[in-house]
Amino acid sequence: MRLLPYRIVTKLIVILLAFVPYLLSIAHAQSTTEISSEKQMFLQFIKQPSKIVSQKANIIEKKEPEAPVVIVEVKPIKAQPSANVPKSCLPYYDMVSAASEKYNVRESLLITQLYKESGCNPNAVSKTGDYGICQIHLSAHPDVTQEQALNPEFCINFQAEKMMYLQSSFGNEYEALRAYNCGLYGARNPSCGSAYANSILADSY
């Protein structure tokens, strides 16, 4: 076997060494590409469970639409007047009913008293200076104006409040009615207002 000359061998070695960095760079690039592709595959694998979880979460969050809430306003049923209420008092029944509840005075007593006083006429004026549906004696009540006395709502509440006070003071409806008719001073006379009180109590239903 014939050997190559020393100079030729030396040149070949130099040429091969010159190619070594190039070959190494190619090998490194290939390994980097493989690593990055493996990394991408791993990341995709990691992301898969999160996608599944997010899909499940979406399924859980997708609920059936709730039915719209319908708010129904329930209005209180107004009390119906008794058949015994005089026709002339019917337009003022709601006012009397509210005053009766507010001041805790019997409704039928108030209506019968109004009918006795004025026939339930809000414009009634007596010769002795009594005004309105409940016949407020203005000289005895200087804090009440004629305009107020002729206002049926004001007058009815005035009557109910006064009856509440008198019933609390005298302890019963009879004495309270006497005092309403005669005043506190006049009610000292046992006969004063007795006919008035008895007629109202007899006619109240």
82 has pLDDT over 60: yes
Question: What pLDDT shows up at residue 154?
Answer: 98
165 has pLDDT over 60: yes
Asked whether residue 104 falls in the same domain as residue 195, the answer is yes
Asked whether residue 102 falls in the same domain as residue 184, the answer is yes
Structural domain of residue 92, as residue ranges? 87-203
178 has pLDDT over 70: yes
Q: What angle do CA 200, 204, 205 make, to 5 degrees?
A: 170
Provide mean pLDDT across the span 2-23: 63
Provide mean pLDDT across the span 168-197: 94
Q: Within a 10 A sphere around the Cβ of 181, how many other Cβ atoms?
A: 20
119 has pLDDT over 80: yes
In a domain, 22, yes or no: yes
11 DSSP 8-state letter? H
Asked whether residue 92 falls in the same domain as residue 143, the answer is yes
Quick: pLDDT tens for 95-117: 999 999 999 999 999 999 999 99
Question: What pLDDT shows up at residue 205?
Answer: 79
Q: What percentage of the chain's residues is helix, strand, coil (to nearest 5)?
A: 65, 0, 30
**What's this model's pTM, rounded to 2 decimal places?**
0.60
Provide mean pLDDT across the span 52-56: 49
Asked whether residue 93 falls in the same domain as residue 167, the answer is yes
Asked whether residue 91 falls in the same domain as residue 45, the answer is no
Asked whether residue 125 falls in the same domain as residue 166, the answer is yes
Question: What pLDDT shows up at residue 112?
Answer: 97
Question: What pLDDT shows up at residue 52?
Answer: 45
Asked whether residue 27 falls in the same domain as residue 111, the answer is no
Question: What pLDDT shows up at residue 8?
Answer: 66
Question: What pLDDT shows up at residue 96?
Answer: 97
47 has pLDDT over 50: yes
Provide mean pLDDT across the span 44-73: 57
Confidence grade of residue 42 (pLDDT, cut at 50, 70, 90): very low
106, 166 in Cβ contact below 8 A? no
